[in-house]
Amino acid sequence: MRTQVCIIGGGPSGLILSQLLHKAGIDTVVLERRTRDYVLSRIRAGVLEFGAVNMLRKAGVGARMDREGFVHDGVYLAAQNRGFRIDFKRLVGKQVMVYGQTEVTQDLYAARDAMGGVVIHQAEGVTPHDLKTDAPFVTYHRDGAEHRIDCDYVIGCDGFHGVSRTCIPASVLNTYERVYPFGWLGVLSQTPPVSDELIYANHERGFALCSMRNENLSRYYLQVPVDDPIEKWTDAAFWDELRRRIPEDAAGRIVTGAAIEKSIAPLRSFVAEPMRWGRLFLVGDAAHIVPPTGAKGLNLAMSDVHYLYEALLSRYNDRDEAALDGYSACALARIWKSTRFSWWMTTTLHRFPDQAGFDQRIQETELAYLESSDIAQAALAENYVGLPY
């Protein structure tokens, strides 16, 4: 088989890049190692920057999001049982969309099907070859046979544990990492959200986040030791702890219910440079991971896709490779700004095991300064709604 762009990974990055390129008349094939059901079973974050919202609309995938998503004008930050609101719309004139990543992925798959997009599932042993030549190809196994796809470019949209980043020689690849000494216990419950907007709470017992998917589907997170056994967190234990960490007025409104999904995830910041090796380009989690505190994971993947899509368009329509040559530096400039913001939100809102009294006071002062200063709030707002592409 031959295609112009071979994309490894059928998550959000790979699907939207394939959709945009297909709409621009550029041939793609997506190789996904899992089944579609498996990919769609993943519960991920739920906040879209305005840039990501525009990307989905541009890809022709925004209709259900615009119907069922929730536009939020701000968020609440809380500490010491007091909360205050950051009004994005007033401060920076922009908003965010609350719409689950699972829904985004479902909509992308539906759009790919509608256009006859080629997404090959259960592709095993995907291996890129000859990346430093002008005739790269990718091999994979499926149905007991080996297959080969010849292409112009290979795009690694295969996430943190994918194969593509490993194709960049260790002598060339630089990685930067911060592993946080705690995890997030996430719970999905068919209960009405406790607030009309998200609540990020700093508390001496640990961080808590109140989010939602719709008027009867709530998403909550608690900072817990990353090695906590999930069995320790019965529904009752979870609801009791959540009540302790958020302001009393919100705690009094909580409607409890059975968790329909419960898991503990580690938190890390990770960036790999460069995001190109010959005809291979990295996109999304294949190149970077952010702690979910800033809700940047999917949104950073979207800006990577934006830069690479525009660069591939220049290459195929104008035979101009300048943007491809500049992709890595351009994407990394925005990636590092979002990495900084996600790190800052995480270090400001979480309790660290070795946290001394001084650190605690600095956190409290950071939040007090935010509460008192429109300028400080505007800086948070412009990062949260998404820096310009």
Of these, 98, 154, 168, 298, which contacts ligand APR (CB under 6 A)?
Answer: 298
Stretch near ligand PHB under the rule CB under 6 A, chosen from 45-53, 113-121, 263-271, 310-318: 45-53
> Among 285, 306, 383, 384, which residue interacts with ligand APR (rule: CB under 6 A)?
285
Residue among 81, 75, 76 at smallest CA distance from 248: 81
* Interface of this chain with ligand PHB, residues 286 to 325, rule: CB under 6 A: 292-293, 295
3-class secondary structure for 229-298?
Answer: CHHHCCHHHHHHHHHHHCCHHHHCCCCCCCEEEEEEEEEEEEEEECCEECCEEECHHHCEECCHHHCCHH
Of 159, 186, 206, 294, the one binding ligand APR by CB under 6 A: 159
Q: From the list 157, 167, 271, 275, which residue makes contact with ligand APR (rule: CB under 6 A)?
A: 157
Instruction: Report residue 321 as tokens.
Output: 């490779």
Nearer to ligand PHB (CB atom), residue 46 or residue 247: 46
* Nearest distance, CB of residue 301 and ligand APR, angstroms: 4
Whether 232 is catalytic is no
Residue 281 contacts residue 336 (beta carbons within 8 Å): no
Contact between 272 and ligand APR (CB under 6 A)? no
Q: Closest separation between CB of residue 290 and ligand PHB, Å?
A: 10
58 is catalytic: no
Cβ(99)–Cβ(57) below 8 Å: no
Stretch that binds ligand APR, among 5-13, 75-83, 171-179, 361-369 (CB under 6 A): 5-13
Q: What are phi and psi of 240, to 5 degrees?
A: -60, -45
SS3 of 181, please? strand
Spatial neighbors of 85 by CB under 8 A, at least 6 apart, are 74, 75, 76, 197
Q: Which of 193, 247, 291, 292 is catalytic?
A: 292
Number of residues forming the site for ligand PHB (CB under 6 A): 10
Binding site for ligand PHB (CB under 6 A): 45-47, 198, 209, 211, 219, 292-293, 295
